[in-house]
Structure 1
C-alpha cells in the first residue's frame, strides 16, 4: 500500500512535492498523468500524480481526480499540491478530492489548506497569502493569470465555505486545533490555515493526522512537513542513491512567464549558452523550427521571444513550444524545464510517462525519466539571477554522491 499519495495540479509542483520526501525515502515515483501508467514498484512509499488541471473547469478536475484515485489504490495519506501563490483553481481540486473520498451517506473528510512555504518567504497571516511579508494582491506575481489575486481566504477558494484558522489556534494546544478542524469538517467547511514558519506547518500535519482521512492541501512547505512526519526508511536498507551522469548536452526550455526568468536566461547566455528565441507568431502558426542542436553550444536555451503575455493563448503557446522542441531534443541531452505546463507538455510530447526524483535544491528537482534521460523541473517563479546557471553547472559537473 502506498503510504503517501500526492495529487498535483501541475508537473513542476508534483516533482517539487515528491522530492520533499527524499530525506526519508528514495522509494518515490512521479506519474506524468492520472491515466493508466506503469505500476509503481511494489515497495514505492510515495506516489505523486500530475493531474495537469491548473486551468481546467470543475468537471475536468473531478474526472482527473477520480481517475487518479482509482489508479492509486488505497493510500494511507492524501496530500493535494497546489501553487504557493494560489494560481489556477485550487477550489476545484479541494471540492473534487473531498467528494471523491466521501463514501455515500458519510461526512466529507477534513480539508486542511495552507499554501505557505516559509523557506521561500511565502506565508499566510490572517488568511492572506504574503510574499516576503507583502500581501499577494499587492504584488505583480499574477500578471499572467485570467483573474485577480485573492485578498482573503474566502477569495482564495471561491465557491467553498471557508473558515480561517489563525496563528493563535495553529500554535495553541493540539487538542483545540484538532477540535476546530473536526468541527469545520462536520459542518462541511474548508479550513484555510495561517502559517509563518515550518513549526506551524508541522502542527497542522500533526493535527490532521488525528482526523481519519483528513486531506492536506498546500504547496512545497506543507509537503515538506508531511515528509518530516513520515518515518524514514529502515537504517539497514543501505542503498546507493541514483544520480544523473554528467550530461554532454543540456537543453533548457524556459517556458514560464515568470518575470525573474529573463535575468536567469541572460546569465546562461553570458556564460556561453546559445539562446534560441521563437516568435509567438511562428509558434502559434506551427512554423517555429529549432536549429540542429548538434551544431550549437553544449548548453542551449529555448524560449518564446519576449512579448506581452496574453493569458488567452498561454496554453496553446506552451503546446506549440513543446511541438517545436521535442523533435530537436537529443535522447542523450539533459532537459531543464521551467514551469509546470511547459514540463508536462514537453514530456508528453517525448512520451515520458514517469519520473523518479533523485535530488532537489530550491524547488529544482532532478529526476530520472522512464526512458533513461535526465530531467530537471522547476516552477518558473522560484528563480533568481544565477539559478538556471547553477542547475546547468550541476548537470555538467555532478557532485560525487556517497552511499546513503
Structure 2
C-alpha cells in the first residue's frame, strides 16, 4: 500500500523531495507525469511521487493537471504532500485549491529548507536567495497554518501526529521531516556504486552549474552548440554540454535538439549510467527514451538522486541534479565516483524488480 503521495510541479522536485524516504530504506517510485501514475500505483511502493510539469503553466492549466492526478488516486487516504518551490514559484494557489476540493484537509504550509539557509519567519519565506520576504498566505490565497521554521528541530515539532489528516505543502525540508517521522531510526546504507560507461548530459546554464563545469577538465567536454551533438569518442565517461550556438534560436528548440541527440547517443553508446543536469533537460531526455517510471535508490551525493529506470531502457541508472544546486566541486566529486559495477544499486533495500509498467 502507498503510504505517502507527493505531487510535485517538476521532475527534479519530485526526485529531490522523495529521495529522503529512499535514504531511510523505503521503496520509492517516481512517475514522470500523471499518465504513468496508474502503473506506479500498481507497483505498490511505500512512497509515490509524480511530476505534473506545471511550474510554468497558467493557474487553470495547472489545476486541470492536478485534477487529473486526483481522478486517478481518488480521496487518497495516506500522507499527501504538495511539493512546491521553496521560493513559491508557479501556480501554487490553483494547485492547492484543486487538491483541497478533492481531498478536503486543513493545510499546513512549510516551504523552508533549513540546511540551505532558507527559513519561514512570521509567515514569510526568508534567507538565502530571497531578496524580499515572500508572504506565504498571500501566495496561497487561503487560510493556512504557517509555522515558523528556522531548523530541522522546528520541523519535527510542528508536524501533526496525524499526518494523513493534513494537506502538507512544502519543499525538500518538509519531505525530510516527514521521512524522519515515519522512519526515526533508518537502516545503515551505503552510497550507490555507479556503473561505467557514463553519459553525462548537462543542459543547465545556471551559474551554479557553470561554476561546477569550470572545475572539470574542459578538454574532455563535448560541446553541443544550440543542442547539436557532434560525433563523440567511446570512453568510460562522456560529458556533453549544451551551449549557445553562433545563431540565436529559441531555448525550447535547443532543448528539443539536445534531448534528441542525447537519446541517439544512449542508443549508440549503451551507457550503464545516464547523468542529466537541469530539470527540463532531464525530463525531456527521459521522455524521449520512453522512461515513465523511476525507482529511487538513494543519493550519489547530497541532493543528487540516483534512480533506476523501470521502463524504457529498463535498468538504466539515472542520476539527476538540479541546475542551481551543489558545491563548486560537485561534478568533480560525482564523476570521480564511478565504478565498473552497479551491484550496490541492484541490492539496495526495498528494490522493485524492473519491468514493464502495469
Aligned to 1:301: 240
Secondary structure of the structure 2 residue equivalent to 1:253: strand
Q: 1:369-404, CA deviations, whole angstroms, 9 ceiling, x for partnerless residues?
A: 122111111221112211122222223477985976
Aligned to 2:60: 59
1:10 aligns to 2:10 (yes or no): yes
Q: Work out which of the two has the higher radius of gyration on C-alpha atoms and give 1 or 2.
A: 1
The answer on whether the counterparts of 1:62 and 1:93 sit within 8 Å (CA) in structure 2 is: yes
Structure 2's unaligned 5+ residue stretches are 350-358
Judge which range, 338-347 or 35-44, deviates more.
35-44
Equivalent-residue separation in structure 2 for 1:242 and 1:387 (angstroms): 15
The answer on whether the counterparts of 1:33 and 1:49 sit within 8 Å (CA) in structure 2 is: yes
Equivalent-residue separation in structure 1 for 2:165 and 2:159 (angstroms): 12
Aligned to 1:89: 91
Q: 2:157 aligns with which of 199, 203, 214?
A: 203
Q: 2:176 aligns with which of 218, 224, 232?
A: 224
Return closer, same or farther for 1:194/1:323 CA change in 2, 3 Å cut-off: farther
Structure 1's unaligned 5+ residue stretches are 102-107, 139-149, 162-188
Aligned to 2:35: 35
Alignment of 1:1-400 (within 5 A): 1-37=1-37, 38-40=39-41, 42-72=43-73, 74-101=76-103, 108-132=104-128, 136-137=130-131, 151-157=134-140, 160-161=141-142, 189-206=143-160, 209=162, 213-231=165-183, 243=192, 245-248=194-197, 250-270=198-218, 273-279=220-226, 283=227, 288=228, 290-295=229-234, 298-305=237-244, 314-329=251-266, 330-360=269-299, 361-370=301-310, 371-396=314-339
Secondary structure of the structure 1 residue equivalent to 2:34: coil
Aligned residues: 338
Return closer, same or farther for 1:255/1:130 CA change in 2, 3 Å cut-off: farther
The answer on whether the counterparts of 1:322 and 1:342 sit within 8 Å (CA) in structure 2 is: yes
Q: 1:231-255, CA deviations, whole angstroms, 9 ceiling, x for partnerless residues?
A: 47998xx9x989455212x222222
Q: 1:18-61, CA deviations, whole angstroms, 9 ceiling, x for partnerless residues?
A: 11112433311111111145344555111111111111112222
Equivalent-residue separation in structure 2 for 1:397 and 1:128 (angstroms): 47
The answer on whether the counterparts of 2:19 and 2:298 sit within 8 Å (CA) in structure 1 is: yes
Return closer, same or farther for 1:62/1:100 CA change in 2, 3 Å cut-off: farther
The answer on whether the counterparts of 1:241 and 1:358 sit within 8 Å (CA) in structure 2 is: no
Return closer, same or farther for 1:245/1:265 CA change in 2, 3 Å cut-off: closer
Secondary structure of the structure 2 residue equivalent to 1:380: coil
The answer on whether the counterparts of 1:273 and 1:297 sit within 8 Å (CA) in structure 2 is: no
Q: CA deviation at 1:225?
A: 0.5
The answer on whether the counterparts of 2:222 and 2:232 sit within 8 Å (CA) in structure 1 is: no
Q: TM-score, normalised by structure 1?
A: 0.74
Q: 1:243-302, CA deviations, whole angstroms, 9 ceiling, x for partnerless residues?
A: 455212x222222342111111112234x63231323xxx5xxxx3x1233446723132
Equivalent-residue separation in structure 2 for 1:40 and 1:233 (angstroms): 26
Q: CA deviation at 1:65?
A: 1.5
Equivalent-residue separation in structure 2 for 1:319 and 1:205 (angstroms): 42
